[in-house]
Structures are given as C-alpha cells and as structure tokens.
Amino acid sequence: MSPAPERIRIFDTSLRDGEQSPGCSMDAAQKLRFALALAELGVDTLEAGFAASSDADADGITRVARALRGTGTGVCSLARCRPGDIEASAKALEHAEAPRIHVFIATSPLHRQHKLGFSQAEVVDAAVRAVEHARRLVDDVEFSAEDAIRTEPEFLEEVFRAAAKAGARTLNVPDTVGYTTPAEIEALFRRLRAAIGDEAILSTHCHNDLGLAVANSLAAIAGGARQVECTINGIGERAGNAALEELVMALNVRADRFPFRTGIDTTRLVPTSRLLTRITGMAVQRNKAIVGANAFAHESGIHQHGMLKHRDTYEIMRPETVGWARSQMVLGRHSGRAAVNERLGFLGFSLDEAAAERLFARFKTLAEKKKEVFDADLEALVLGEDANAAGWQLTAFHLSTGAGQGEQPAAAIELRDPQGESHFGRGSGDGPVHALFAALTEARGMHVDVESYAVHSVSSGEDAQGQASLSTRHHGEELTASATSTDILEASALAWLALAQRIARRPGPAVAPTRDIAASEARA
C-alpha cells in the first residue's frame, strides 16, 4: 500500500497582499465576508491584514479572528520586525483560535543598503529579536526574508537558521518582485532544505511580474516547499500573486508529477472567485485559467464536435470539479452544426432535418456579424422574429436620480406581455439601475437574482452604443443576457427582460432579488 500524499499547506493572503492591489481595498465587513468564504474553501491559514498599518486593518483582523473560531482555518497578521507591530498583531489576534504572527525584514543587498541602511549582522539581530518577541505572545510565528530571491544564498541560510533557532515554525522565501524562474527557485529551495533540515516548514510566496508565479510556486514545491502563499484570482501588488485556484488545480490534475494534497474544496473555487469580484469590482479576464468565463467554453466546430463525442478530447478537468455547472458551447462563426443543434435542444427546441439546415444557414450569416451568438439570438432565429416580439416588451420607462433632493433614485416602468396587455411597476433603490430593476420586478411579476452586471461601449462617438450584460445562476446553471442601446439604462432594462425570459423558459421557481447590484452599478 502506497503512503498517503504529503500535505501542502495553503496560506491565503488575499486579505493582506491581495488587498494592497489598487482598487481591491475592503472594509471590515467585506473582509469578514470573504474570510468566511476562504474558511469554507478550506485554506489552512489566511493572512487577515497588517494590524499596525491602521485601526481599520486591526479591527478587520479582530473580527475575522473571532468569526473563524472552530473552522479549522488559522488567522495571521503581518508585522515588521518592530515591537509595536508585533504587539499590535498579538492584540488583534487575541480572540483567534490558531493565531499566527508573520514577521518580516528585507535581506537583499539592495534593500539592506537603500531601504534599511543595515548590515547583515543587524538584519540577523533584528530578525531574531522579532521572532523571540512574537513567540512570547503566540505559539505560531512565521518569518519572511523580503526579497529573498535577490539575497546572497549564504546569507539567506544564515538568517533562516537564526530565525528557526529563535522559534519560527515557518520560513518564507518571497520572490517579492517576481524575478525568479522555475529552475532557479527549485535549486534554491533544495539548498535551503538541506541547510535547514526539519527545523521549520519552508514556504514560497511568488509574485507574477514575469507571469511565472504559479510555475515558480510549483517548482518551489518540487524543491521542498510545503506551504504556498497565494491569492484568489491572483490579486496582489503590481502584476499580482500566485493564483490559488491555478496552483491547487495544477496539483490536482498533475498528481502524477506532484504527489501532494491540499485541504481545498475545489468545488468552491469558482464561487469564491466570483465573490471576490463582486466585493472588489476587479473583473476576471474571460480567458483566465480555472475561473474565467472561457475556461470551459468551446467555440471551434472541431473542438465542439470532439467535446460532444468525448469531453476528455479537449478538457483536462471537469468544470463541476471547480464549481462551474457545465462546459459551455460558445456559438460563433467557428461553431458547427453539432454544437448549434445541441444548444437548440437545451433551449427546448426540436427541429426536423430540413428546418435545422435552414436555421444553421441563418445562424452562420448572423455569426459573421456578431462575435458571439447568444441564446436570445437562437430563439429569435427559431421563432423567425425578434426575441422581444415573442416575449415581453419595454414600452416606456421613467427614472429620477433623486440628486439634490435627499431622496432615493426611483423608476416607473411599463411593459407589454406577449398577449399585448400592459403591466406597470415602480421601484426605488441605491442607484438608478437598482431602482430600474426593482420596477421591472414589480411589472414582470418575477424576481431575478442578478449576480453580475456590466456596461461597456460597443462603438465610438457621442452616439456610441452601450451594451449591458447580466448573469445569474439558476438551479446550478449560469445564465447570461445582454442588450444594446444608445441609452445604457434602456440597454440594462432590455438585458434584464432577456434574462428573465431565459429563466422563465426553464423549470423551477425564480429566485429572490439581491442588493449586490447596487455595488456593481457603482463600479459600472
């Protein structure tokens, strides 16, 4: 019987290093919400902030420390090698079940000379005193040598041995500026492992300035690292950190090369990624590995045909494994008959061979004009008329912003149903789009939980058209809709109606509305 795979500890620093990304700052309530999601994901330790940096950061750490008791996830605060920083961290962590203080000091010649003005001996002395101080306050202390990759290897060994002797349980080797390469960092970890032995766990913290953060993290594991510091969606300073979801799935898929395990529930990767996007407003690029909208999407007719025959032809992992409902056959100019017919069947249409052939010809004509053919477009082709004519139409709407009046924005809507009967709705909200959707909910008599909302220009000039895109999850399936107009509010209303129609065509009740749209609207 073969031994169980060795454990790789996942140290998530989305709430500290990730939050330092421009545009990614979070308040205490948002940090708490995301910390709970990270605990549910199964991270071993989360770095909740830098307690000495501000009262808000200290408060956020304290709230997270209390909330995560009993979850099995440890809570960490960063600290410089200064007594005040260390004591602030200990105070913020006093209610944590598994507190960790993470002390750091720069070790490279560049940083020693230009930032600290320290000699090697002074750096070692500061590191030892900081670790000893932290160990008097908590049992779990991590030590980081900032800019370790550009530090003399002999000196790095010296400072790590001293920190381990002082009581550091984890020694972190940060590639602070994203400078290293896989072969280089693997060799360094092998050297450090030989020098340190089993005195402490070696950790890696890679930045993505050269696009190598995940590759370097995997190489560090091959060299002896047993903790990886990473972030959801790869957020972090400059080009970001190693992306947790990519690292974990690389270990998962390539267990033949990396016989290790983590405690991560991979089915929570996509939901956690989407929560971070909603909180920060930092969208994930469509072709982002694992969690991007195109990660399991196929447009090429050859690929789609192979997927329909056997999914392993073009997918190395199951979308359900990481939290997607299913693979997507994206319809566009490269799509073939098999994919179009499969999507029509999913939408509930059954066409004879002649009708299917005529529809495919019309689909190809449309696909030459559009980058992507949506479900609404297919429905319009099948019905032989505009999709709105077959469903609910937006007859009129009126919006007041409430600016200068001390009132909430309000909206009034008139819709016409497929039988020609008018329906009216009124609503208010935190913003005009929020109010508009509330009025649509009343007029349509149907709730839609809008999970994401985005507006962008599809042309140029003063009369540029704006496209509004919405998405939701309905019984585990992601549904999307978009609409275009020179009035982005009209485009938003039309997209909402299209999304409602997608839901209405499917079995099961619609879901309750969410107020997350207010935050999305503010960012749009």
Per-residue confidence band for 182, with pLDDT thresholds at 50, 70 and 90: very high
Strand 466-474 with 227-230, pairing: unpaired
The percent of residues above 90 in pLDDT, for the chain, comes to: 54
The single-letter code of the amino acid at 501 is: Q
> By the 8 A CB rule, do 147 and 155 touch?
no
Instruction: Please give the pLDDT value at position 20.
Output: 78
Which of 201-205, 373-377, 416-420, 503-507 is most confident?
201-205
User: Which stretch of 11-25, 53-67, 93-107, 458-472 has the lowest confidence by average pLDDT?
Assistant: 458-472
Per-residue confidence band for 16, with pLDDT thresholds at 50, 70 and 90: very high
Residue 298 phi, psi dihedral angles, 5° rounding: -130, 125
pLDDT mean over 176-203:
97
Around Cβ 3, how many Cβ atoms within 10 Å?
6
The answer on pLDDT for 349 being more than 70 is yes
Domain parsing of the chain, residue ranges = 6-280, 297-388, 391-523
The answer on pLDDT for 78 being more than 90 is yes
The answer on pLDDT for 421 being more than 50 is yes
The reply to whether 391-523 shares the fold of 6-280 is: no
**More confident: 375 or 138:** 138
The answer on pLDDT for 12 being more than 60 is yes
pTM (global) more than 0.85: no
Per-residue confidence band for 386, with pLDDT thresholds at 50, 70 and 90: very low
For residue 218, count CB atoms less than 10 angstroms from its CB and return exposed for 0-12, middle for 13-18, buried for 19 or more: buried
pLDDT mean over 323-347:
72
Per-residue confidence band for 406, with pLDDT thresholds at 50, 70 and 90: low
> By the 8 A CB rule, do 185 and 223 touch?
yes
Instruction: Please give the pLDDT value at position 265.
Output: 97
CA dist 345 and 356 (Å) reads 11
Q: How confident is the prediction for the chain on average, in pLDDT? A: 85
Instruction: Please give the pLDDT value at position 327.
Output: 58
Instruction: Please give the pLDDT value at position 389.
Output: 40
The answer on pLDDT for 46 being more than 80 is yes
> By the 8 A CB rule, do 68 and 60 touch?
no
Instruction: Please give the pLDDT value at position 348.
Output: 61
User: Which stretch of 22-36, 116-130, 338-352, 390-404 has the lowest confidence by average pLDDT?
Assistant: 338-352
Instruction: Please give the pLDDT value at position 512.
Output: 40
Instruction: Please give the pLDDT value at position 264.
Output: 98
Torsion of CA 165, 167, 173, 176, to 10 degrees: -120
Class of the CATH-defined domain 6-280: alpha beta
Per-residue confidence band for 524, with pLDDT thresholds at 50, 70 and 90: very low
User: Which stretch of 319-328, 380-389, 439-448 has the lowest confidence by average pLDDT?
Assistant: 380-389
The 10s digit of each residue's pLDDT in 139-151 is 999 999 999 999 9
Strand 477-485 with 466-474, pairing: antiparallel
The answer on pLDDT for 507 being more than 70 is no
The answer on pLDDT for 62 being more than 90 is yes
Instruction: Please give the pLDDT value at position 494.
Output: 86
Kindly state the greatest CA–CA separation across the chain: 84
CA dist 250 and 34 (Å) reads 24
Q: Does domain 391-523 have CATH number 3.30.160.270?
A: yes
Per-residue confidence band for 86, with pLDDT thresholds at 50, 70 and 90: very high
- Please report the DSSP string for 57-68 in residue order: HHHHHHHHHHHT
**More confident: 500 or 38:** 38
Instruction: Please give the pLDDT value at position 28.
Output: 84
Which of 178-187, 373-382, 486-495 is most confident?
178-187
**More confident: 384 or 117:** 117
pLDDT mean over 171-184:
98
The answer on pLDDT for 232 being more than 90 is yes
The answer on pLDDT for 517 being more than 50 is no
For residue 345, count CB atoms less than 10 angstroms from its CB and return exposed for 0-12, middle for 13-18, buried for 19 or more: exposed
The answer on pLDDT for 231 being more than 80 is yes
The answer on pLDDT for 402 being more than 80 is no
